[in-house]
Amino acid sequence: MNRLGAYLLGLFTREAAMLFAVAAVLVFLIQCLRIFDLVSVRGQGLWTLMGQAVLTMPALAVIFLYLCTAIGLARALRGLQASHELAVIHSNRRVPALMGAIGLFTLAATLLVLVLSSIVQPLAQRQYNAWSAAITADLVGRSLAPDRFTEIVPGVILSIGGREADGTITDFFADDMRDPQMRRTYIARSALLATDEDGFVLQLRDGSVEYMTAEGEFSRVAFGGYDVALEQLTEPVERDRSYSERTSLDIIASVARGEPFEPRAQFEIATRLGEGLRVITYCLFATALAAFPHGRRRGGRIPIELVVLSAAFLERSVNEALPVAGALREVAGALLFFTIALVLVLVRLRAYLPGRVPVRRESGA
């Protein structure tokens, strides 16, 4: 890379990094405020609050990193326009160096987003869920008092008859009313909170599970032994963590071993690849808006940051409205806007194609 390309790449990176740093700090503080009540109610301290906020940051960073990248690129190009450097670059036919720097910047940002979404985010989510399960188990263990009904999470009520010296719970009762279509009631003579390879479980003995549908249909299943994952009583009923905690490399490796490529796995892979595609799309969009000089004494009346944000909102809206099903639905809007942005850049570059650049002719004597 020549000196001009290195200078431009550093300029783009600084602008995007400053925006990302400001956004990350603000989002981190908002996350701390959001989970403060939850953590304090569970009797946890400041380090738990900050640790859980940090573990949620990769998922949130993926959401706004592509915007910081595109806005940082656009701001840097507008700065070059204001200082007349952009006009000098074009007049001296250094457009390939400019486009090369934009391409390298876009490639680096895309790889960063893909690493965050495909590897860092699932690992952080796995650690966050394990930590939350430990906190919930501690809360359940401390909050249950004999002969008293306790709502451990909204819609789940637990009651016990007593505790033995080895930790065994007697006369266990749990009523799960979170799912409006199916109410579950667990009754057991004894229960024990234990751990296995998947996390914390309630080992129920000599009891039954009763089901009641929204239509009033009732069924009962008796058991001698029944293990209930604690997260089934403390996490949202619709939550599916089977693939959200797995990295893309793990999912691809499992498919390569012959395991079926399930729709949920396709959804996760498409969602993660879609974040990388958005980086490329909005960097192309910023290039079409600001990488070409103009003769106006003042910049555009509409701030370029607002233009990029408006395009992002429009892309998300179009993505929801497109009649596309399956995993492709997660990237359909990004693909459409990528095509539009690519066409805009190619149209702006048409004057620099071979044979289109005017040649100055010397007048004859």
Determine if residue 238 is left, alpha or beta; phi over 0 gives left, psi from -120 to 50 gives alpha, anything else beta.
alpha
Alpha helices (H) along the chain: 3-41, 46-82, 85-91, 95-115, 121-143, 231-234, 248-256, 263-290, 304-321, 329-349
Contact 198, 230 (CB under 8 A): no
Q: What is the pLDDT of residue 55?
A: 87
Q: What is the pLDDT of residue 14?
A: 94
Q: What is the pLDDT of residue 47?
A: 72
Query: CA angle 152-246-283, nearest 5°?
Result: 110
Q: What is the pLDDT of residue 216?
A: 82
Neighbours of 116 (CB within 10 A): 20
Q: How far apart are CA 357 and CA 85, in angstroms?
A: 20
Q: What is the pLDDT of residue 254?
A: 86
Mean pLDDT by 10-residue block, N- to C-terminus, for the chain (365 residues)?
Answer: 86 93 90 69 63 86 91 92 87 87 94 93 85 69 71 79 80 86 89 75 88 87 86 62 80 86 85 91 91 67 84 85 74 87 88 55 45
Q: What is the pLDDT of residue 105?
A: 95
- CA nearest neighbour of 68 among 23, 28, 108, 9: 23
Q: What is the pLDDT of residue 112?
A: 95
Q: How far apart are CA 286 and CA 83, in angstroms?
A: 18
Give the rounded distance of the alpha carbon of 54 from its chain centre: 14
